[in-house]
Amino acid sequence: MDINQITNKEQKEALAKKISEKVENGQTIGFGSGSTSYLTAIEIGKKVKENNLKIKAIPTSNDIEEVCKQYEIEIGNLVEDKIDWAFDGADEVDSNNNMIKGMGRAMFKEKLNILNSPKTYILVDDTKFVEKLGEKHPIPIEVFPSAMNYVSNELKKLGAIETTFRGMTENGNAIIDAKFENIYYDTNKNLEKDIKKITGVIESGLFLGYNVEVVKD
């Protein structure tokens, strides 16, 4: 990731420094993906180096794993390690902390970290807040490649007004971006589960009703 190309960099760096203050020796931390998480991983790496700390990271993307290795942070895994807390970014957040995530193609591992962490901090700049989900982004959905056409048709039955193939994840699965309008938790609280029920869907970037703490500058 090219740091010089990161938008709202100053605000994201402030968030990164704020969350790095929570790092303590011996912790296992879930590292999210995206530009804010990338900057946070760097800040945590600096703190680890300067204070000679020993921590473990559970990274959700190759970019983040490379930063951890650069700062000699040990890489853990969810089979053997228990996360103490996690951080991540988001593409959209509504007033009830519901989110769309995964435009960076890592929604499956991001969701795993959140589900396995007792505390997750979501770091967002001012551009990520929306009145209703779907205002700025589609829902990214990780799909087994040969199921793409079937999943696309089933998504339209659920109300998607447009589905687009956007490439592959680091897991070797396809990404379908599904555009839904007016996603409100009160009226669409089952949408995340309904998407997951479609045969061929690995995971979606829709996060409804998760216990997270949104951190803003």
Active site positions, annotated: 110
Q: Mean per-residue pLDDT for 7-14?
A: 92
The residues that bridge with 142 in the sheet, in sequence order, are: 175, 203
The whole-number pLDDT of residue 115 equals: 97
Report yes or no: 102 and 198 within 8 Å, Cβ to Cβ. no
Banded model confidence at residue 4, pLDDT cuts 50, 70, 90: confident
* Domain topology for 139-205: Alpha-Beta Plaits (3.30.70)
Can you give the residue ranges of every domain in the chain?
3-129, 139-205
pLDDT value of position 37: 97
- Joined together, the tokens standing for residue 24 give 């303590």
* Predicted pLDDT at 5: 82
- Mean pLDDT of the region 91-111: 95
pLDDT for res 168: 97
Question: Which pLDDT value is given to residue 187?
Answer: 87
Average pLDDT estimate for 78-84: 98
Q: Is the pLDDT of residue 118 over 90?
A: yes
* pLDDT band per the 50, 70, 90 thresholds, residue 132: very high
* Span 98-121, average pLDDT: 96
Q: Mean pLDDT score of the chain, rounded to an integer?
A: 96
The predicted pLDDT at position 103 comes to 93
Task: Tell me, yes or no, if the two domains 3-129 and 139-205 fold the same way.
Answer: no
Rounded-to-integer distance, Cα 18 and Cα 109, Å:
24
* CATH among 3.40.50.300, 3.20.10.10, 3.40.50.1360, 3.30.460.80 for 3-129: 3.40.50.1360
170 contacts 61 by C-beta, under 8 angstroms: yes
Q: Which residue has the tokens 């490439």?
A: 167
The predicted structure's pLDDT at residue 52: 97
- Given this model, what pLDDT does residue 89 score? 97
* pLDDT on residue 137: 96
Looking at the predicted structure, is the pLDDT value of residue 81 above 80? yes
The three state secondary structure string of the chain is: CCHHHCCCHHHHHHHHHHHHCCCCCCCEEEECCCHHHHHHHHHHHHHHHHHCCCCEEEECCHHHHHHHHHCCCEECCCCCCCCCEEEECCCEECCCCCEECCCCCCHHHHHHHHHCCCCEEEECCHHHECCCECCCCCEEEEECHHHHHHHHHHHHHCCCCEEEEEEECCCCCEEEEEECCCECHHHHCCHHHHHHCCCCEEEECEECCCCCEEECC
Instruction: Tell me: pLDDT of 3 over 90.
Output: no
pLDDT digits (tens, 9 = 90+) for 139-188: 999 999 999 999 999 999 999 999 999 999 999 999 999 999 889 888 89
